[in-house]
């Protein structure tokens, strides 16, 4: 008998309305897609996530937590719900870990990551196949493990003061390498199929 599976997440109070959604629609979508029940404390922003008894996979509680955290970190519900896909992961960079409580420096690097009219963030997303949210003192990334790793590398280069052009070149190289690896994987797969009697 599996004991009750529960996890907690904490989100900024100004994101609670987004998590609940109009007439509770977003909350219901998260609950139904992951087989969990969410209890949201509107005073503190604490979200209690409890796995439903009929849900087979206990990891659903952790994936539901990632969806809740993603919404709290500025992703739209639609983008956060891409975490329903088991191949996707969430990574959150806390800029306080790098710059301490220097809010002016955090605002400056937020601007570097977003770029003019969102250009830099859009390029990172397009070149890596990830979703990126810059919210407060955090930068969050959703995507496959490999693509999140590449996007995080690019963002860390920007945080260290590298030129945007240098970072775009790095992203182009990584995208080219990923294409070659994928093509090689497909070719090897075809060779294995061809050898089968």
Six-digit token string for 191: 């060779």
Mean pLDDT of 6-29: 95
CATH number of this structure's domain 1-84, picked from the four choices 1.10.10.10, 3.20.140.10, 3.30.1370.10, 1.10.760.10: 3.30.1370.10
Has residue 1 got a pLDDT over 50?
no
Residues 60-77: pLDDT tens digits? 999 999 999 999 999 999
Say whether 167 sits in a helix, a strand or coil: helix
Q: Which candidate, 26, 66, 73, 70, places its Cα nearest to that of 49?
A: 66
CA–CA dist 40, 19 (Å, integer) = 9
The fold for domain 87-192 equals Ribosomal Protein S8; Chain: A, domain 1 (3.30.1370)
CA end-to-end distance (rounded Å), the chain: 46
How far is Cα of residue 113 from the mean position of the Cα atoms in its chain? 15
- Would you say the CATH fold of 87-192 matches that of 1-84? yes
Has residue 2 got a pLDDT over 60?
no
pTM here?
A: 0.87
Backbone angles phi, psi at 94, to 5 degrees: -95, 115
Mean pLDDT of 158-180: 92
Q: Quick one: which H or E segment has residue 72?
A: helix 59-72
Is residue 50 very low, low, confident or very high in pLDDT (cuts 50, 70, 90)?
A: very high
Residues 75-93: pLDDT tens digits? 999 999 999 999 999 999 9
Q: Quick one: which H or E segment has residue 34?
A: helix 25-34
Has residue 106 got a pLDDT over 90?
no
Indicate the domain borders of the chain: 1-84, 87-192
- Beta-bridge partner residues of 40: 47
Rounded mean pLDDT of the chain?
90
Is residue 99 very low, low, confident or very high in pLDDT (cuts 50, 70, 90)?
A: confident
Q: Which candidate, 62, 58, 61, 70, places its Cα nearest to that of 19?
A: 70
Backbone angles phi, psi at 59, to 5 degrees: -70, -15
């Amino acid at each position: 008998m599996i004991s009750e599976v529960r996890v907690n997440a904490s989100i900024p109070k100004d994101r609670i309305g987004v998590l609940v959604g109009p007439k509770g629609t977003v909350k219901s979508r998260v609950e139904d897609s992951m087989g969990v029940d969410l209890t949201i404390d509107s005073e503190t922003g604490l979200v209690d996530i409890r796995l439903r008894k009929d849900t087979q996979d206990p990891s659903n509680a952790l994936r539901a937590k990632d969806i809740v955290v993603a919404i709290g970190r500025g992703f739209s519900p639609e983008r956060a719900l891409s975490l329903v896909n088991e191949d996707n992961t969430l990574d959150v960079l806390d800029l306080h870990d790098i710059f301490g409580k220097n809010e002016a420096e955090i605002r400056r690097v937020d601007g570097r990551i977003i770029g003019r009219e969102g250009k830099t963030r859009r390029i990172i997303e397009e070149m890596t196949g990830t979703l990126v949210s810059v919210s407060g003192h955090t930068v969050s990334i959703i995507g496959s493990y490999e693509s999140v790793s590449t996007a995080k590398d690019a963002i860390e280069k920007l945080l260290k003061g590298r030129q945007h052009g240098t970072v775009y070149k790095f992203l182009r190289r990584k995208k080219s390498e990923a294409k070659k690896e994928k093509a090689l994987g497909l070719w090897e797969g075809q060779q294995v199929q061809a050898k089968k009697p």
